[in-house]
Structure 1
Amino acid sequence: MSETGPSMAMLTAMTDLWRLRPPGPDNILAHPAFVRLRETCRDGYPNAGKKGPAFALSIALRALGFPCHLRKDTAHLALPVEEAAKGLDAALRATRTRHIHLAPLAFGPARVCRLTATKGCALHK
């Protein structure tokens, strides 16, 4: 883990993953480049767990625009590998998260609010 961004090992593993063509392997979790990235995360980030992230890492890659999981009509949404690596590095370093929800999560009027454990949905000002 570098203090200023993703390590060279992370960039190399992600570059190999970014080269995969749609639809990608049947089991991305077993692909050698994914395994290398998982191990890089495990070794470089103390909060990544003893084995490194697996399913969560695959979801993160999708959120970062993993090219082989995009349809042909959405291929333009793929992030450049360097930008995706920076995003993954930032996510692995994060100590806090912020969740934004549309409430209610059913049909009907929607409003912006702040959810709390004690008050439910308090209007956000």
Structure 2
Amino acid sequence: MKDAIQTPHAPAAIGPYSQAVIAGGLVYTSGQIPLTPDGMLVEGGVDAQARQVFTNLRAVLAAAGTDFARVVKATVFLADMNDFPVVNAVYAEHFAEPYPARSTVQVARLPRDVLVEIEVIAELH
């Protein structure tokens, strides 16, 4: 059994997927890219884009009834691994020990040619 999560405080899904799904006591977010809730792409480099991604993730997690403190796994997709230090610094602002498990990969291309996309898995409260 699964329940879809949707909030107007994050960009709407632009395809056949949910912003997040709750199943088995966990919430699985879809990858968030740096779009504002009204669908505008955030400019200004990877720092600004990463901050918008975390704003979106916070909104989706809140709609599911959880938050960053309950994240157990994060996956970070980068267009350029040279951006890792900047994204890592923004990431560190949102998590405390014990940190979630994490994978970070460079990909050939991201939707809308953004610089960063992040998805998380979190426990429910």
**Same fold, judged at TM 0.5 (above):** no
TM-score of the superposition, structure 2-length normalised?
Answer: 0.31
More strand by share: 2
Q: Which structure dedicates a bigger proportion of its chain to helix?
A: 1
Indicate the structure whose relative CO is greater, using CA pairs within 8 Å and at least 6 residues apart. Answer: 2
